[in-house]
Amino acid sequence: MSGKGYFVRTKKVTPGSRLNGYPEGIRALIGEREGQIPPSSAYHLSRLPTPEAMQEMAELIVKGLLCRDAVSAAVSDYLGKRKGARKEKPVKVVVEGVTVIIASQDLEKVFGVFDLIDAALKKLEKHGLPMSNLPSLLRS
């Protein structure tokens, strides 16, 4: 059973955002593939007051600059509905088998830490020390 403005998922009918409420350019981008706007993010876009605001935020999503989890917060910020300062979640990055978890949102501080790590890694390499010595080099 499916009606206009409703999505059917495993025997459950839930009200959904009507696709004709979106500008044409955004409507074509809604999907689950890379470079598309996930349906959950599209819902949050529908809360924005103007097509221009929707388009601006949609571009950030499609470029990968705004992830699915951040869309709700970004829309709330745009609408001015966020209460108090929000606590950011740590960001986990895995590149070529190396995992880094960054808890600070202060980019200057993060760059400073990466500079310290870079210098410590150069010492490890220079003296032929194992990676397990990295924490002690960072403390000194």
What DSSP element (H or E) covers 125?
helix 107-127
- 75, 122: one domain: no
Residues 70 and 26 in one domain: yes
- The amino acid at residue 20 is N
Do 87 and 105 form a contact (C-beta atoms < 8 A)? no
Domain span including residue 106: 91-139
Residues 122 and 75 in one domain: no
DSSP structure class, residue 30: B
Question: pLDDT for 96-128, tens place per residue?
Answer: 999 999 988 888 999 999 999 999 999 999 999
Q: pLDDT tens, 11-65?
A: 443 444 455 567 777 887 888 888 888 888 888 888 888 888 888 888 888 888 8
Whether 56 is in a domain gets the answer yes
Q: Write out the two tokens for 105.
A: 């949102």
Residue 85 placed within a domain: no
Q: Are residues 107 and 73 in the same domain?
A: no
> Which residue, among 14, 66, 68, has the nearest Cα to 38 in the 3D structure?
68
Residue 67 sits in the same domain as residue 40: yes
- Within-domain flag for 86: no
The tokens describing 115, both together, are 């500079």
